[in-house]
Structure 1
């Protein structure tokens, strides 16, 4: 497949920055390489329906679960079909499982809301609106929800009594760009990424006039926003941070190591940090992320070192841009895939801890993020474009949410 269509992240960067000042780095990360792309599904012609009322999938292995390495079959469930649980989002992101309440929370960023799926009967409802264009969510080891808010450029924690604590909104006196994803470490600290993706109209608000995503001030970034929103400008590089148990914030991975950091997760032992580096965002003038995942070592003091490339996410000659990341208890890395118009390569990818591709879960929509959940924590939930998908596995997620 040979296509020069821009990826979602690159397109957002152009729209936010102004045509006169921002140029794209080139072809979309999801379209860089020509190569055959499989059809969106192999079950039926026309393609299968994933809807809750769709005809049953009677195949022992769902044909959209594709093994590359025999180890893949050890973490998948042979008689479990891929299911579309719900559709109706504009861009679904940040799924997180609440083990006590037995529900899933995820973000619908453009609609400025968080949604909730109840496992008992599949009921879906609005959980929180407005959500300040929240993106990534998780629950920490005390059962408190953490959310990254594009609009307010902050990371917040919803306390058990219903109050809200602002965990981070600046670093060294400068406002954050737009926190994207957050994970809880067993030592009580949190790691979060801060790319610029919220600095545009669709998923947040552009910079104030003169900022990188609104250099000429042509965009009125206060229209439709609450009072006080729209005064900030992007002032910092993209980076990954740690919030210590005492609240101290440190930059643990800079833009020189992982530009445009997006999804992130911890290894089961909490000693490694995986970070997805996606594409250019609003206001980026450098090369930006190249659609790769990196991994670094976490020291006892929370610092991160030895950051190196984990995978370039090239599969069959197709660039499969990573976004959300989670680990299972075996140390395998599960990552959402945005293959753009390379139909058949979007969904989820599964990798060994050594970076070997084990297999893929093919979806008819681009997958933004994923997490393990369900009462046994053996169900993979995938927030994909407008819909929520799930499939049961033979393993469990290593994180609390």
Structure 2
């Protein structure tokens, strides 16, 4: 190939690229002038990206789906680390939690009634616990014991080091919980968990017994495919956040008015703050439900006070609904993002301790929950719809899981 031909070919390709970019900008401008939102793309990257292990290389420096909104995010993201799809095959992946001793990640597939384990040594994923009672959120306490929130049995359990199981909480003042969702440990020996209604459906647990809010006409047979003891519970309480004290006493620490439909939760590094994701309306909700916001509360002496809005999770006028939360050692809040059909906004958002958007990670699936893990706790794991993703960062997660 002659030098002249090479130069001409390069100019032609450049002109084609500029023309395509100009057309895209003109189309977007025309859509805005017409008063309609532009149609979201079918993929988050262009050309379409293959996340699989056999896909062609697509990251050379700064993964195109790791986006710094604020320059400060460049100090948290790892410039030469790609977003990886580690595994796919779930119906709704949730609740990732890292075992520092075992060097594995546990995560839930709620509809499949299963917990999976991902091994960091070779990337192997296998069934860890089945049935899991439609478990959702998982975490590890400061003694390395796994905590799980079970939709089907409406309870929070702890897996002891000898292999036995302890029921930490299954009711409040004699009334069954709605469907415990996420749980975190506090250094004082307490456990804090959320109780929204999302497990009150056929897909992720069991609806109420006939006459309950999620089965008012009794048309759903909640006993089908379930153990014989399942089917008698009805939703009796509003949504709330609870604390299990070191002595086993359960107290309600955040009322529904403070954080309706509470979902994911996480403590600040010094445990002086509690962040709570208030997601959308769930089955059986009689009121307006959550609005897709993150709230923050001050924590002292086992109480949560001074609740206030931390973020409305709006990005470019798109609602990036929060679900699971994790906090890094600098106090930044990493939230899973459910933007629905607004493709390109699903994934993860990262917020400063003051609530400013620092950056985000785009995924081709809705993200349900996140956690930091890996031997150095600098790898962000993302449970997203049918798949498990991960990306190395330049920060570390705060807390044991």
TM-score (norm 1): 0.90
Q: Which residue does the alignment assign to 1:250?
A: 251
Q: How does 1:296-375 map to 2 (within 5 A)?
A: 296-299=297-300, 301-375=301-375
Q: Residue 41 of structure 1 contacts residue 63 of structure 1 at CA under 8 Å; is this kept in 2?
A: no
Q: 1:369 to 1:381 in 2, by over 3 A?
A: same
* In 1: Cα distance, 2:269 partner to 2:151 partner: 28
Q: How many Å apart are 1:189 and its aligned residue?
A: 0.6
Q: Which residue does the alignment assign to 2:153?
A: 152
Q: Residue 41 of structure 1 contacts residue 64 of structure 1 at CA under 8 Å; is this kept in 2?
A: no
The SS at the match of 2:72 is helix
Larger Rg over CA atoms: 2
1:193-242 Cα offsets, whole Å, 9 max, x none, are 00000000000000000000000100000000001101000000000000
Q: Which moved more, 1:318-327 or 1:50-59?
A: 50-59
Q: Residue 180 of structure 1 contacts residue 193 of structure 1 at CA under 8 Å; is this kept in 2?
A: yes
* In 2: Cα distance, 1:268 partner to 1:261 partner: 21
Q: Which residue does the alignment assign to 2:270?
A: 269
Q: Which residue does the alignment assign to 2:88?
A: 87
Q: 1:276 to 1:34 in 2, by over 3 A?
A: farther
**Structure 2: which 5+ residue stretches go unaligned?**
1-34
Q: How many Å apart are 1:38 and its aligned residue?
A: 6.1
* In 2: Cα distance, 1:37 partner to 1:400 partner: 42
Q: 1:373 to 1:242 in 2, by over 3 A?
A: same
Q: How many Å apart are 1:43 and its aligned residue?
A: 4.8
Show structure 1 runs of 4+ deviating over 6 A. Answer: none
Q: Residue 44 of structure 2 contacts residue 344 of structure 2 at CA under 8 Å; is this kept in 1?
A: no
Quick one: higher RCO (CA 8 Å, sep 6+), 1 or 2?
1
Q: 1:344 to 1:34 in 2, by over 3 A?
A: farther
* In 1: Cα distance, 2:38 partner to 2:140 partner: 40
Q: Residue 181 of structure 2 contacts residue 263 of structure 2 at CA under 8 Å; is this kept in 1?
A: yes
Which one has a larger percent helix, Structure 1 or Structure 2?
A: 2
Q: Which residue does the alignment assign to 1:7?
A: none
Q: How many Å apart are 1:53 and its aligned residue?
A: 1.6
1:319-351 Cα offsets, whole Å, 9 max, x none, are 110000000000000000000000100000000
Q: How many residues get paired?
A: 367
Q: Which residue does the alignment assign to 1:162?
A: 163
Q: Which residue does the alignment assign to 1:239?
A: 240
1:51-76 Cα offsets, whole Å, 9 max, x none, are 12211223200000111001100011
* In 2: Cα distance, 1:42 partner to 1:135 partner: 27
TM-score (norm 2): 0.90
Q: Residue 153 of structure 1 contacts residue 169 of structure 1 at CA under 8 Å; is this kept in 2?
A: yes
Root-mean-square deviation (CA, aligned residues, Å) is 1.2
The SS at the match of 2:398 is coil
Q: Residue 43 of structure 2 contacts residue 343 of structure 2 at CA under 8 Å; is this kept in 1?
A: no
Q: Residue 44 of structure 2 contacts residue 363 of structure 2 at CA under 8 Å; is this kept in 1?
A: no
Q: Residue 86 of structure 2 contacts residue 123 of structure 2 at CA under 8 Å; is this kept in 1?
A: yes
* In 1: Cα distance, 2:310 partner to 2:44 partner: 30
Q: Which residue does the alignment assign to 2:291?
A: 290
* In 2: Cα distance, 1:320 partner to 1:271 partner: 26
Q: Which residue does the alignment assign to 1:13?
A: none
Q: Residue 37 of structure 1 contacts residue 343 of structure 1 at CA under 8 Å; is this kept in 2?
A: no
1:154-197 Cα offsets, whole Å, 9 max, x none, are 00000000000000000011000000000001111110000000
Q: How many Å apart are 1:399 and its aligned residue?
A: 1.4
* In 2: Cα distance, 1:43 partner to 1:258 partner: 35
Q: How does 1:191-230 map to 2 (within 5 A)?
A: 191-230=192-231
* In 2: Cα distance, 1:111 partner to 1:34 partner: 39
Q: How many Å apart are 1:39 and its aligned residue?
A: 3.9
Q: 1:241 to 1:38 in 2, by over 3 A?
A: same
* In 2: Cα distance, 1:119 partner to 1:164 partner: 26
1:239-269 Cα offsets, whole Å, 9 max, x none, are 0000111111100000011100000000000
* In 1: Cα distance, 2:145 partner to 2:167 partner: 13
* In 2: Cα distance, 1:297 partner to 1:243 partner: 17
Q: Residue 150 of structure 1 contacts residue 203 of structure 1 at CA under 8 Å; is this kept in 2?
A: yes
Q: 1:42 to 1:59 in 2, by over 3 A?
A: farther
